[in-house]
Chain A
Amino acid sequence: MTDYSADSILVLLDVTPSGALSKSAAGLLGAAAEVGTPVALIVAAAGEGEQQAQDAAALGATHVIVAEHAAAGTELTVPGADALAAAAELVRPDAILVSNSIEGREIAARYAARSRSGLAVDAVGVARDAEGVVARHSVYGGAYNVDSAVTWGAPVITVREGSIDARAEAKPASIERLEVAASGRKAAVTGALEEEVVASSRPDLRGAAKVVSGGRGLGSEDKFVLVDQLADVLGAAVGASRAAVDAGYVPQSHQVGQTGVSVSPQLYIALGISGAIQHRAGMQTAKTIVAINKDGDAPIFEIADFGIVGDLFTVVPQLIAALEARKA
């Protein structure tokens, strides 16, 4: 049996439907390494999880626990919470980090409720003070920085995807298998997954260094391609306003804002987006904001570092041509 160090940080890693570690893994392990010794947890069906465990070590996990649960992959949330409970019992960590993905945060939720642990959600960083591990949050669209801690015990912290730049050094693989007894908690049963097709050459919206977003001003799904084209010239991810999502120009996973993804890129370009407060809540922490809108009074201009009052259908093609000419 492994001897877990007193400053262990237990990190639950998401696994994608195709069986790879989720992209959030590197940041989670990076954050954990800053405040303690990262111990990764992977939930898998019996006999599986070996490759992911190797990958977790390469991303900096000092130890990897592969938790085998009979209902992993067929039941929602409960197997993950059972695994987290078993691993926490074994490791006795100083904190538990989980991705703030839908799957991750719901597992954290069930586990925290079961163990009556303090839960902090959507952290953009972690730190350690004399009393223990602290979660850093950016709230109300980045208008406030809030630090939270728990009254006792190990905090359960969900970490915003793409928010952590720190990376941990690769470690030799030290893998332990843990058979998890099902808690018997009632769970929903999962069925067929319809995977969203993603343009693999484009960066993920979460954590992207550059984002080009389109709004209702694009006018149609066909014309929204202009957003994709500019994104590809810049090597940027594609985002959208809720109005563009509602109109069916792009899938919901691209929505930036209050009820969508929060991004903090180096460059954010808003095309045909008015800049409603709920949209700004998801992007106003970007380093540089560029806006193109034909309405000079659009609120997006209040926060734009470079604003162009004009028709995006003439400005953007010219911009693309100019950028391509410079590349050639």
Chain B
Amino acid sequence: MKIVVLVKEVPDTYGDRKLDLQTGLADRAASETVLDEISERALEVALAYADSHADTEVVVLSMSPESAAATVRKGLAMGAAAAVQVVDEALLGADLGLTAEVLAAALRRIGFDLVIAGNQSTDGSGGVLPAMIAEHLDVPNATSLNSVEIADAEVRGERATDHGTMQVTASMPAVISITEALPDARFPNFKGIMAAKKKPFETLSLADLDIDAETTEASRSIVISLGEKPPRTAGTKIVDEGDAGERLAEYLVQNRLA
């Protein structure tokens, strides 16, 4: 079985994340970048399956700037067999529509039985790419899964919906996305880091995928204005001396909040 995991590099959520007020793009210099935690969990689902099914090939795929290669390589160190990175200057500031077309084209080229994505990235947090990609590839989307069961020809799981959980089943090939209810990922160990250096790492351009980023056939989403809000500041802070509950009650009543 061939499993392709979609991994994304994002600004570290533990740091200060900034948007460039001129371009409207994430300011990559302002913060550390990391492999998105949910991407790692998605990779863990694939690797855990591969651990017990020897004939499984796990490939990580990312569309990202060239500088993200080291982040993508972490996927190899964790245990993926190969990595594919789509890099092209024309992708700077790509919207969801273009990103989905590019990832779908790359997936067609790589080939897959199962695609595993995170349900939502921590920077775009669109939560839409897996379904968009499934549409382009004409395969089912079994998305937002809290649990995953991979069988020979189908994939099942418990989907987190807005009203509870629902069983869903998709025949493969399919695209699934997973939630943070799935386990944390393994850490790359020394052996994995060394082995990663010898694993195939393919870099693709838009020309390789036969995609024209400038096409006017698709409508694109663009930023038309951007403003920064002043950060919040601290107000009153008291140390409880036995009456803090009463003082808070008073504060709430005075401010018409209770």
Contacts and interface: CB of A to CB of B under 8 A. Distances in A.
Contacts of B24: 146
A1 interface: no
Interface string B124-163: 0111111111111011111110100000000000011111
A102 B255 contact: no
Contacts of A302: 232, 234
Overall SS of chain B's interface:
mixed
A148 B133 CA distance: 22
Contacts of B22: none
Contact of A310 (B222, B240, B258): B240
Contact of A102 (B144, B218, B229, B243): B144
A148 B221 contact: yes
B21 to A, nearest CB: 9
Interface string B207-233: 000000000111111111111110111
A324 B136 CA distance: 57
B89 interface: no
Contacts of A143: 17, 228-229, 231
A278 interface: yes
B240 A315 contact: yes
A323 B258 contact: yes
B249 A252 contact: no
A110 B132 contact: yes
B132 A109 contact: yes
B77 interface: no
B167 interface: yes
A150 interface: yes
A259 B38 contact: yes
A307 B236 contact: yes
Interface in B236-258: 236-240, 243-253, 255, 257-258
A311 B240 CA distance: 8
Contacts of A121: 96, 125-128
B238 A186 contact: no
A186 B245 contact: no
A304 interface: yes
Interface stretch (B63-71, B168-176, B186-194): B168-176
B141 to A, nearest CB: 6
Given A109-B129, A109-B135, A148-B223, A193 B239 contact: no
A305 B238 CA distance: 11
Interface string A104-131: 0111111011101111111000000000
A82 B230 CA distance: 43
A210 B222 contact: no
B255 A288 contact: yes
Contacts of A112: 96-97, 128, 132
Given A143-B229, A150-B219, A193-B164, A307 B235 contact: yes
B220 A252 contact: no
A308 interface: yes
A102 B127 contact: yes
Interface residues of A, number: 97
Given A102-B162, A301-B234, A326-B253, A116 B245 contact: no
Contacts of B15: 277
A242 B159 CA distance: 19
A310 B244 contact: yes
A259 B245 contact: no
Given A117-B219, A118-B221, A196-B164, A145 B97 contact: no
B222 A252 contact: no
B212 to A, nearest CB: 13
Contact of B163 (A17, A105, A321): A17
B128 A119 contact: yes
Contacts of A196: 163-165
7 contacts: A112-B96, A119-B96, A146-B225, A155-B219, A305-B235, A311-B240, A326-B249
Interface of A: 14, 16-17, 22, 76-78, 81, 100-103, 105-110, 112-114, 116-122, 134, 139-140, 142-153, 155, 158, 185-196, 210, 233-234, 242, 252, 258-259, 266-267, 277-278, 281, 284, 288-290, 292, 296, 301-311, 314-323, 326
Given A139-B19, A303-B234, A308-B247, 7 more contacts: A118-B222, A119-B97, A143-B231, A158-B128, A194-B164, A278-B14, A310-B239
Interface of B: 13-15, 17-19, 24, 38, 95-97, 100-101, 120, 122, 125-136, 138-144, 146, 159-171, 174, 179-181, 216-229, 231-240, 243-253, 255, 257-258
